């Protein structure tokens, strides 16, 4: 969330920013509630002071009836005001959570179609077989049995395609470890505090897109970003240790799978997929530099995999609540003749860290909220789609990208599941 002091000092700016991001928030209502909360807080603090004074007077000799009566009245009045204060703070927090992060000045305004291409790499050739048809013919993927077991948009990966997914994971993981990232496996479930603190919609919201555990304060994660954000919740990190770079591996669970349009076909948009997620904790003055570093690492991964792509500076209306700026990498689909979303990387500034009370101790001893950033190293299902579409040879075989061959037994091509060794 934003700093309440920033909102008080910049109400019009915050309101306009929310509008640009597509969020309906009433900043005047929020500030009126905050004023009311502060008045009640002042009364509570005054009564607590009187309570302490009354307690001091009761020490020693037997207290008078008048003093006892006064203490009882203070206690009763304080209890009522503390309840009122708690209710106002809860309501204020609810309103604050609906206020999105401020965007950077270089973020384009508008909706998805107003996002700006900032870089293009590779060619835009067309002509390849659709990944789902290609995989089914070779018995590499089974959506029918996935549906039988778990419902639509669940699937089995088989044989060499499953090995290829593992090869992509191992390649990207080794690549990032050499770049200084600490590898983590993460919890696959998180509490509502961590979920909403990261910027994802709560269970009660119409906007939530996740899977929740009935009867418990737990949700399945949509990305490793969520538990990685919560890793340092309520901690104070030393400035000398920053930035911290983590890479988390996890399955991701989402209800988002659509049924219309070719871009939702097959593995492109599913309910469960595996992903490697980069994450960084840093000081405010370093976060923009770290953002560009994460983007550069994403680009290097896809260049090494031989995938044509472009980089987009995402428009304000498509950013979501936590991000101040986000880049998307979209790969060139030889099947569809257009670019399709592949990865993203976001600078969330102090938005998530304030929610989860993650701070840094400066060299001068000052404590302040730090910045968090995240970026997709590889989203495995979509990575498979991109490789299948872009690495079919003239004989119909799938050529394994060179950087993946050490993880595939040195082979150049994938074999069908029914093909004899």
Catalytic residues: 254, 269, 341, 344, 382
Write the CB contacts of 159 (distance below 8 Å, at least 6 apart in sequence).
139, 140, 415, 416, 417
How far is the C-alpha of 306 from the C-alpha of 7, rounded, in Å?
Answer: 46
Instruction: Give Dmax over CA atoms of the chain in angstroms.
Output: 101
How far is the C-alpha of 125 from the C-alpha of 332, rounded, in Å?
Answer: 8
Question: If 0-12 CB within 10 Å is exposed, 13-18 middle and 19+ buried, where does residue 331 land?
Answer: buried
Closest CA to 331 of 176, 166, 120: 120
Q: What angle do CA 227, 229, 230 make, to 5 degrees?
A: 65
Q: Which two tokens stand for residue 334?
A: 């030889």
Q: What angle do CA 243, 245, 251 make, to 5 degrees?
A: 150
The helix or strand, by DSSP H or E, that contains position 119, with its residue range, turns out to be strand 116-121
């Amino acid at each position: 969330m934003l700093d309440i002091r920033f909102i008080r000092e910049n109400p019009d700016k915050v309101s306009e920013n929310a509008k640009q991001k597509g969020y309906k928030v009433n900043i005047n209502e929020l500030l009126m509630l905050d004023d009311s909360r502060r008045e009640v807080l002042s009364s509570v603090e005054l009564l607590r002071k009187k309570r302490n004074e009354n307690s001091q007077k009761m020490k020693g000799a037997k207290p008078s009836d008048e003093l006892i009566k006064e203490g009882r009245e203070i206690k009763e009045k304080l209890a009522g005001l503390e309840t009122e204060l708690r209710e106002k703070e809860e309501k204020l927090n609810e309103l604050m959570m609906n206020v999105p992060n401020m965007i950077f000045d270089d973020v384009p305004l508008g909706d998805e179609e107003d996002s700006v291409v900032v870089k293009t790499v590779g060619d835009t050739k067309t002509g390849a077989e659709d990944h789902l048809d290609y995989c089914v013919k070779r018995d590499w993927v089974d959506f029918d049995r996935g549906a039988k077991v778990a419902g639509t948009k669940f699937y089995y990966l088989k044989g060499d395609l499953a090995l290829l997914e593992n090869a992509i994971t191992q390649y990207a993981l080794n690549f990032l470890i050499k770049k200084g990232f600490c590898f983590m496996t993460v919890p696959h479930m998180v509490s509502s505090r961590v979920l909403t603190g990261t910027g994802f919609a709560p269970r009660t919201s119409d906007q939530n897109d996740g899977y929740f555990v009935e009867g418990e304060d737990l949700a399945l994660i949509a990305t490793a970003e969520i538990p990685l954000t919560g890793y340092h919740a309520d901690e104070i990190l030393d400035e000398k240790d920053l930035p911290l770079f983590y890479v988390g591996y996890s399955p991701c669970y989402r209800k988002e799978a659509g049924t219309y349009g070719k871009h939702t076909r097959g593995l492109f948009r599913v309910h469960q997929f595996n992903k490697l997620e980069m994450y960084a904790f840093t000081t405010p003055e370093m976060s923009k530099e770290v953002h560009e570093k994460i983007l550069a690492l994403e680009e290097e991964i896809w260049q090494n995999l031989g995938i044509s792509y472009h980089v987009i500076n995402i428009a304000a209306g498509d950013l979501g609540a936590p991000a101040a700026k986000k880049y998307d990498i979209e790969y060139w689909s030889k099947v569809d003749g257009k670019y399709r979303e592949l990865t993203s990387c976001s600078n969330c500034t102090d938005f998530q860290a304030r929610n989860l009370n993650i701070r840094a101790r400066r060299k001068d001893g000052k404590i302040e909220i730090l910045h968090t950033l995240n970026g997709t190293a590889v989203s495995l299902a979509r990575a498979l789609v991109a490789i299948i579409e872009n690495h079919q040879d003239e004989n119909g075989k799938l050529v394994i990208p060179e950087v993946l061959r050490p993880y595939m037994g040195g082979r150049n091509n994938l074999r069908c599941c029914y093909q004899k060794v």
